[in-house]
Amino acid sequence: MSEHPQTSPNSPVHDDGATRRNVLKGIGATLGIAAYAKALAPLTELTQETSMDEFLQKHYREMSKEEIATVIERLEAETKEKYGADVTISDPEPLDGVKFGYALNLSICNGCRKCAEACHLENNHDRPSHQSYIRVFEMSKGSMDFEKGNAHYDHPVPHPDKYYMPVQCQQCEHPPCVDVCPVEATWKEKDGIVVVDYNWCIGCRYCEAACPYHARRFNWQKPEIAAEEINPDQSYLSNRIRPQGVMEKCTFCLHRTRKGRLPACLEACPTGARVFGDLNDPNSEIRWVLENKRVFVLKEELGLKPQFFYFFDE
């Protein structure tokens, strides 16, 4: 674009022009760099949050037992530092030959939302948003359509004209959330539980778009939770406090269920509507329900084969 005629390098006119121009450019460049630095300054506060060890951490399934132990040690220390709580993070493996399933009796669920509350406390959810992996819908009798359901009911329960349908992760046999993840940060474990490596997830939220059951949650900011409210019994793949910017989901409380205990939502249920157990054990209560009740799954037509079943008593 230069239209300047070629001038002799010795020409004083040329020199002056060039000098003034260079000075202006220098000022421009300096101001520009300063503006860039100022604009991006908030990032410097962020790098203090993320350690180099965390940045370089390998995928959960690529780490040896020792490496996982080191990571867990670091995570425990970070929880102490950031949240002021002493916690124990375990890493229980899937039990051999066990496949977990869940069933829910819609005839007796009374919509009290004790399960959602228990989930909130057990899984160290963000307190201000009152996050939970369970949403309870108040449904109109005579309809299975969620369009006529309401998750925001606020009156004494049970309402005589309604029934209640709690929804959480259905632990699909063919989970679309796992298929769509670009970095394999989420997968299905041997015992049927779909888990997330919170330290590998890049936070693209494709899984959240893919899930037909609204089972996934994103950490829109760093979870807030008071030290005395933190559940110290944690595991790497389930209820440890999640980092900002990653996905999370129901894990059937694997830190409990893999150690022979029941999920927190089940223990909290006052009606006995929830049945949890090993689908491979012919003598389990869940097998009895599947064999003796008329069970159904949500959105069966999608072909995802949920491992979460609903049934009516009568």
Partner 1 sequence: MSNPDTPIASASESSPKPLPEWRQYVRFVGSAISQSIEGGWKFYVWMTLLTAIFLVGANAWAVQERDGMAVTAMSDHVSWGLYIANFTFIVGLAAGGVMMVIPAYLYHDKDMHDIVIIGELLAIAAIIMSIMFVVCDLGRPDRFWHMLPGLGKFNFPVSMLTWDVIVLNGYLLINLHICGYLLYKRFRGHAPRAKMYVPFVFLSIVWAISIHTVTAFLYCGLGGRPFWNTALLAPRFLASAFVSGPAFLIVAIQIIRNQTGRMFGEGAIVTLVSIIRITILISLLMVASEVFVEFYTGGSHTGAARYLYFGLDGHNELVPWIWSSVVATILAGILFLVKDVNRYPWVLNTACLLAFAGLWIEKGMGMIIPAFIPSTLHEIVEYRPSLTEWKVTAGIWALGFMIYTLLIKITVNVYSSKQRNSKGQRTIASTDALAMAEES
Residues 132-161 that bind partner 1 (CB under 8 A): 135, 137, 145-147, 149, 151
Q: Which of 12, 13, 39, 65 binds partner 1 (CB under 8 A)?
A: 39
Residue-by-residue DSSP string for 254-275: HHHHTTT---HHHHH-SS--EE
What type of residue is 94? P
Nearer of residues 5 and 260 to partner 1, judged by Cβ: 5
Nearer of residues 200 and 276 to partner 1, judged by Cβ: 200
Q: Is 209 in the site for partner 1 (CB under 8 A)?
A: yes
Q: Which of 91, 203, 262, 295 binds partner 1 (CB under 8 A)?
A: 203
Residues 222-241 that bind partner 1 (CB under 8 A): 222
Q: Cβ neighbours of residue 148 under 8 Å, at least 6 residues apart?
A: 139, 140
The separation between CA 230 and the C-alpha centre of its own chain, rounded to angstroms, equals 17
Q: Is 13 in the site for partner 1 (CB under 8 A)?
A: no
Q: Which of 184, 229, 285, 313 binds partner 1 (CB under 8 A)?
A: 184
Q: Tell me how far, at minimum, the Cβ of 97 lies from partner 1, in Å.
A: 27
Q: Which stretch binds partner 1 (CB under 8 A): 14-22, 82-90, 107-115, 268-276?
A: 14-22
CB 89 within 8 A of CB 240: yes
Nearer of residues 44 and 283 to partner 1, judged by Cβ: 44
Q: Is 297 in the site for partner 1 (CB under 8 A)?
A: no
Q: Which stretch binds partner 1 (CB under 8 A): 18-26, 74-82, 111-119, 257-265?
A: 18-26
Residues 43-62 that bind partner 1 (CB under 8 A): 43, 45-46, 50, 55, 59
Question: What's the Cα-to-Cα distance from 104 to each of 3, 77, 109, 158, rounded to whole Å?
Answer: 80, 38, 8, 16
> Counting Cβ atoms within 10 Å, is residue 169 exposed (0-12), middle (13-18) or buried (19+)?
buried
Q: Which of 119, 286, 254, 262 is nearest to 189 (CA)?
A: 254
Q: Which of 12, 182, 260, 282 binds partner 1 (CB under 8 A)?
A: 182
- Scan for tokens 């369970």, then name that residue: 134
Q: Is 176 in the site for partner 1 (CB under 8 A)?
A: yes
Residues 236-265 that bind partner 1 (CB under 8 A): 243-247
Q: Tell me how far, at minimum, the Cβ of 249 lies from partner 1, in Å.
A: 11
**What one-character DSSP code corresponds to residue 103?**
E
Nearer of residues 42 and 142 to partner 1, judged by Cβ: 42
Q: Which of 221, 285, 312, 313 binds partner 1 (CB under 8 A)?
A: 221
Gap between the Cα atoms of 249 and 217, Å rounded: 6
Q: How many residues bind partner 1 (CB under 8 A)?
A: 68
Gap between the Cα atoms of 154 and 118, Å rounded: 19
Question: What's the Cα-to-Cα distance from 4 to each of 15, 26, 97, rounded to whole Å?
Answer: 13, 21, 82
As given in the structure block, the two tokens for residue 62 are: 């690529």
Q: Tell me how far, at minimum, the Cβ of 303 lies from partner 1, in Å.
A: 8
Residue-by-residue DSSP string for 148-216: G-BS---SSS--TTEEEEEE-----SS-HHHHH-TT--EEE-TTS-EEE-TTT-----HHHHH-TT--E
Number of Cβ within 10 Å of residue 227's Cβ equals 13
Nearer of residues 199 and 257 to partner 1, judged by Cβ: 199
- Scan for tokens 């860039």, then name that residue: 36
Using CB under 8 A as the criterion, which residues of the chain lie in contact with partner 1 when the complex forms?
1-2, 4, 6, 17-18, 21, 25, 32, 35-36, 38-43, 45-46, 50, 55, 59, 135, 137, 145-147, 149, 151, 167, 176, 179-185, 200-206, 208-214, 216-222, 243-247, 299, 302-304
